[in-house]
Amino acid sequence: MHIPDGYLDLSIAGLFFVLTLAVLGYSIFKLRGAKLTSLFGVLSAAIFAAQMLNWPIPGGTSAHFVGGSLAGILLGPYAGSLAMAIVLTIQTLVFNDGGITAWGANVWNMAIVNVFVGYYIYQTFSKFSRSFSAFLAGWLGITIAAIFAGLEIGLSTSFAYGLSITIPVMGIWHAVLGIIEGIITAGVVSYIATRRADLLEKKEVGKASFVLIAGLIALSPVFAYLAEEVGYSEPLENAAEMLGLEENPIYESIFPDYTIPGLDPYTGTLISGAIGVLIVLLLAYAVKYARSSRKDT
Partner 1 sequence: MHVVLEKTLKNASSYFQNFFIHDYSSNGAIHLIDARIKLLSTIVFVILAISTFEFDKLSFLLFSLILISAILGLSLKRLFSRVWLFSIFSFLVVSPLLIQDLKYPFLFTLRVTVAIIAVQMLVMSTSFAEICSALRSLKVPEIFIHGLWLAYRYILVVFQDIISILLARESRRVAKGSHADLWRKGGESVGLFFLRSIERAERVQLAMASRGERVIQSKFKFGLLEIIYITLSAFVALWCIVL
Return the residues of window 78-117 that contact partner 1 according to CB under 8 A: 82-83, 85-87, 89-90, 93-96, 99-101
Pairing, β 61-64 against β 54-57: antiparallel
Q: Tell me how far apart the alpha carbons of residues 153 and 162 are, in angstroms, rounded to a whole number.
A: 8
List the interface residues with partner 1, window 140-159 (CB under 8 A): 158-159
d(CA 186, CA 156): 35
Contact with partner 1 (CB under 8 A): which of 40, 78, 108, 120?
A: 40
Among 1, 3, 7, 121, binds partner 1 (CB under 8 A): 7
Smallest distance, partner 1 to C-beta of residue 297, A: 9
- CB 257, min distance to partner 1, A: 13
The only residue of 1, 19, 23, 44 in contact with partner 1, by rule CB under 8 A: 44
Q: With contacts defined by CB under 8 A, how many residues of the chain interact with partner 1?
A: 93
**Residues of span 213-272 touching partner 1 by CB under 8 A:** 233-237, 239-240, 245, 249-251
Of 119, 125, 164, residue with least CA distance to 144: 119
184 binds partner 1 (CB under 8 A): yes
Q: Is 42 in the site for partner 1 (CB under 8 A)?
A: yes
Q: What share of the chain is helix, strand, coil (3-state, %, to 5)?
A: 70, 5, 25
Answer whether 146's CB lies under 8 Å from 172's CB.
Answer: no
Q: Is 232 exposed, middle or buried (CB count within 10 Å of its CB: 0-12, 13-18, 19+)? A: middle
- Judged by beta carbon, residue 43 or residue 149, the one nearer partner 1 is 43
